[in-house]
Structure 1
Amino acid sequence: MSKLLYLMFFCSGFGFGQNNLSFSNDQYSGINSAPLSPTTPYFNPNKWDVSIFSTDILFQNDYAYISDQNIFGLLKGGVKTANPQKGITGESQANVLDFYKHDFVKYNLESDIVGPSFSFRQKIKGQTFRLGIFTRLRTQGSAKDIDYYMRFSNQIVIEPAEYSFQPLKTNFMNWNEFGLNVSTNLYTTNTQELIVGASIKYALALDAAYINSKNPIKLDAVLTSTSTLENPDADIYASNYDIEASYTTNYDFDKDKYVYKNRGNGVGIDLGIALVNRRINDELYDSKIALNLLDIGYVNLKGENHLFKNSTLVQIRNNPRLDDVDFKSIQQYARILSNEVYGDTLASYNGNKFTIGLPTSLNFNLSKKVRPNHYINFNWVQRVPVFENSLKRTNILQTSYSIQKDGFGIGTSLSLYEYEKIGFGGYVRIGPLILGSENALPFVFKQNKLNSGSFYIGLKLYPFWDNEAKRRSREPCDCE
């Protein structure tokens, strides 16, 4: 159990993030924007576009930081771990991995890799449709208000004699996603269009975990004969626990390698609607208001479900039956822990199925042209988990300013994550290459406490050499 608790706390350290919001407002983003707005591919002036790949990585945390450093500076190495007893702290030295002293911590990790994908415009019985297919590899986990019991060992101090570890929920999933995106106009006038879009998605799970601790766990620290201020090494005992834990993974612990297998199946759907105003014969709109409901769905998983609910006092530190074992798999650890709690290695087993909901969210978008090819944009992403054990997307408020042209685009953005953390970034699109970051400052400027950063890269094939005049010249002429 001690290693399980340490794993939960360690996961609060770093996270990964979702699609680049500022680039998703670019009308040339095409199929890359479908995961955040199923209607946006419709506005691409080009008839077709192909995404070879794109990946978005973001990390943030309120658990640990590196003092007086930037991300590029980390490549030089030399990071020390804090040791207050030896005078090594983030407050007094640069390049030190130190830990916050919060009572509670949280994390939300998201990674999105979009693989080969494409979209094209097609008229069917006089109706214009935008059709697209996308593939993704997604990783996401979340927890909020995790009781930060590790703050004592991180600061190398003896834990309290009695402590109440508060209830928590945390989950994680790594999955493939295959989607069909369709968008079309419901009605069109000389100046307005009402666009609807949807993405139907099949989810194939690769790895997943779920932990639900329902009771305040009582933790007792008993000093040993070797416990000192310089070497706090108290025995830790847990009681009053009621923990449900489920997991499945493609990592083969016996062969020490990752084996690709289907660990669960699910479905999801994204829905969107957008009202746009545009001038007659203008490819790019003047203004847009859009509402999207994303990731409505869930995944049924095949794995192991365990229940640890007992009044038995379990030693979770300095227990030779746990500390001296060379654990080779999660299953092995669960069996030994079951024996500690129930005196039976299989008593905790509670079935082989569990469910995790997709990270359902609302995305509200406003976009307004301020001069030719110049747009100011606003995005609001709000999580609205609806299914059992749902993953939770990061809440974001963002405003951006972008210039959108054939073969070139650029934008700057200001974001507010979880309504408390500010990020400054943007993107640049040059021909087929897109580079961006929603939190770029930590890359180049030293941060007093480096604990976040993001990076986005994409490579697309689309007729960026094309332009409005060439497209018009190819349109059929009704003249005599």
Structure 2
Amino acid sequence: MKYTKLLTAFLFLLSLNLSFAQSYVGHSVDNYSGVHGVIYNPASVVGSKVKADINLVSASVFGGSDYFGINISDIISSDGGFDFEDDAETFSSNANNFFFNADMLGPSFMFNLSKKSSIGIITRVRANLNINNINGELYEAVADDFDSDDDFDFDSQNLNGTIHAWAEVGLTYGRILIDQPNHLLKGGVTLKYLQGAGSVFMSSPGLQGSYDASAEMLTSQGELNFGVTHDVDGEDDFDFSNLTAGFGFDVGFSYQWNSKVDSETDSLPSYKKPYRLKVGVSVTDIGSISYDDAVLNNYDLNANASTANYEDDVEDFLESNYNGVETRETAKIKLPTALHLLVDYRLAKKWFVSAQANLSMVEKNADLSTSVINTVTVAPRLETKWFSFYAPLSFREYGDVSFGGGIRLGPLTVGSGSVFTNLLSDSSKTTDVYLGLKIPLYR
């Protein structure tokens, strides 16, 4: 069976610095964010500032690499002549990482059942890519068809990578658990029915070797496991017409404290009480999708291989130069489970500042899984019924600091958690952008 197109797509994603992991940076903590807040904490569905929220379509991409560092201004001014291999600043190591997240939120809605309970229906299509602990020089040589004059050694330990695409339909239920004059506690859960479109995955416990440029010879020691699910073949990439079912869920809680207690605020319904402090905790993407009859190839890489005739086809190169054993088995692809923490403080009537942490609960070296990158974001915001503005400052895994901005103008939301850093920095390692259109029904 041939997987050339998938391998080409795999390397193509690696060759981009727009390899995108948190969605809707800054916007998700807005009290008027509606469905977008629910995907991070299902408790947000109840006691909301909106009586109903209908998402038409939204999309977010997020990601990057600790291998590339670029200046977006250089790309814009290059008139299409920017070359990542030649023009981007690189930070090669034996353990470079690449990550990608594309998240499309389809027709979705939420509304109140009663004063203390609400429900929502959420549809999404998502794609994740994680490549961990790959040698930067080896990656560059493969991406450049071994057209290099430089010798190099490589030693990648616990190399692994997974590409996974799936769709999901979620049913969210939230309820107010405690409603006192100055204390409000909410809980929520989202049950997800998953439809997996397919996955490509690889792993190697240890891959060492060297490359002799003058002799065009690659010497390696170790082994490589490379697999594809049965829903992915050489004619189509990820096939959303032949899906594999799975299940998952999110769970979360939110606590609000109102420091001012008087007869005026005591009589207000929960959603109108002007809290001073909000604290949220949630765990999202608990679950997996199992693909029966996945194809796994185990290659013995203890050999010398000539790269003289390498023609941008990793599959043919592996099959032509190394002994491989093909087996079929069930591949259980785990979702990018993450812990989300939020502290939101009201500075004045319409001004807030939030601190949010998104932490992966998946081990970096875990096979058959994707993960979010660990991120802490501090974001001041101006929030009103029809308009909000966000200015998120994020401290992201792999040493990247990103500063961006976003706005919500009635039904339209647009933003990026890294737009200003991407424009001003000489070597930005992550980037993201999001856009959404919805019909909010305010209280």
TM-score range, shorter chain: 0.7 to 0.9
Question: How far apart are residue 81 of structure 1 and its match?
Answer: 6.1
Asked if structure 2 preserves the Cα contact closer than 8 Å seen for 1:149 and 1:165, the reply is no
Letter in 2 for 1:350: T
Q: Does 1:158 pair with 2:137?
A: no
Equivalents in 1 of 2:356, 2:414: separation in Å? Answer: 20
The higher radius of gyration belongs to: 1
Please, which of 338, 348, 352 is the counterpart of residue 375 of structure 1? 352
Instruction: Give the match for residue 189 of structure 2.
Output: 198
| Identical positions, percent | 20
Equivalents in 1 of 2:140, 2:436: separation in Å? Answer: 42
Letter in 2 for 1:242: E
Secondary structure in structure 1 of the residue aligned to 2:126: strand
Please, which of 408, 426, 437 is the counterpart of residue 405 of structure 2? 426
Secondary structure in structure 2 of the residue aligned to 1:32: helix
Task: Show the 5 A alignment for 1:345-360.
Answer: 348-360=325-337
Asked if structure 2 preserves the Cα contact closer than 8 Å seen for 1:16 and 1:111, the reply is yes
Q: How many residues align?
A: 421
Q: Does 1:310 pair with 2:300?
A: yes
Asked if structure 1 preserves the Cα contact closer than 8 Å seen for 2:219 and 2:304, the reply is yes
Instruction: Give the match for residue 322 of structure 2.
Output: 341
Please, which of 22, 28, 48 is the counterpart of residue 24 of structure 1? 28
Task: Show the 5 A alignment for 1:16-55.
Answer: 16-55=20-59
Task: Show the 5 A alignment for 1:53-452.
Answer: 53-66=57-70, 69=73, 72-73=76-77, 76-80=79-83, 96-123=87-114, 128-150=116-138, 153=141, 156-160=148-152, 163-219=154-210, 221=212, 223-224=214-215, 234-238=216-220, 240-248=221-229, 253-254=234-235, 259-278=239-258, 279-280=265-266, 281=268, 282-302=272-292, 304-310=294-300, 313=303, 315=305, 317-318=307-308, 320=309, 323=310, 333=315, 337-338=318-319, 340-342=321-323, 348-385=325-362, 389-418=368-397, 420-442=399-421, 445-449=423-427, 451-452=429-430
Secondary structure in structure 2 of the residue aligned to 1:24: helix
Equivalents in 2 of 1:34, 1:408: separation in Å? Answer: 19
Question: How far apart are residue 264 of structure 1 and its match?
Answer: 2.6
Cα separation, partners in 2 of 1:379 and 1:164, compared to 1, 3 Å: closer
Secondary structure in structure 1 of the residue aligned to 2:116: strand
Cα separation, partners in 2 of 1:43 and 1:425, compared to 1, 3 Å: farther
Asked if structure 1 preserves the Cα contact closer than 8 Å seen for 2:230 and 2:291, the reply is no
1:2-57 deviations in whole A, cap 9, x for unaligned?
Answer: x9699569626431132123111111111111121111222322211101111112
Equivalents in 2 of 1:68, 1:268: separation in Å? Answer: 37
Question: How far apart are residue 163 of structure 1 and its match?
Answer: 4.9
**What TM-score, normalized to structure 1?**
0.78
Instruction: Give the match for residue 91 of structure 1.
Output: none
Letter in 1 for 2:21: G
Asked if structure 2 preserves the Cα contact closer than 8 Å seen for 1:11 and 1:107, the reply is yes
Equivalents in 2 of 1:22, 1:181: separation in Å? Answer: 22
Cα RMSD of the aligned pairs, angstroms, is 3.1
1:366-393 deviations in whole A, cap 9, x for unaligned?
Answer: 1111111221111011111178633111
**What TM-score, normalized to structure 2?**
0.84
Asked if structure 2 preserves the Cα contact closer than 8 Å seen for 1:176 and 1:203, the reply is yes
Give the structure, 1 or 2, with the largest relative contact order (CA under 8 Å, sep 6 or more). 2
Secondary structure in structure 1 of the residue aligned to 2:181: coil
Asked if structure 1 preserves the Cα contact closer than 8 Å seen for 2:344 and 2:354, the reply is yes
Instruction: Give the match for residue 475 of structure 1.
Output: none
Question: How far apart are residue 277 of structure 1 and its match?
Answer: 1.9
Equivalents in 2 of 1:390, 1:251: separation in Å? Answer: 17
Letter in 2 for 1:22: G
Equivalents in 1 of 2:411, 2:281: separation in Å? Answer: 28
Equivalents in 1 of 2:34, 2:222: separation in Å? Answer: 50
Asked if structure 1 preserves the Cα contact closer than 8 Å seen for 2:149 and 2:213, the reply is no
Equivalents in 1 of 2:8, 2:134: separation in Å? Answer: 10
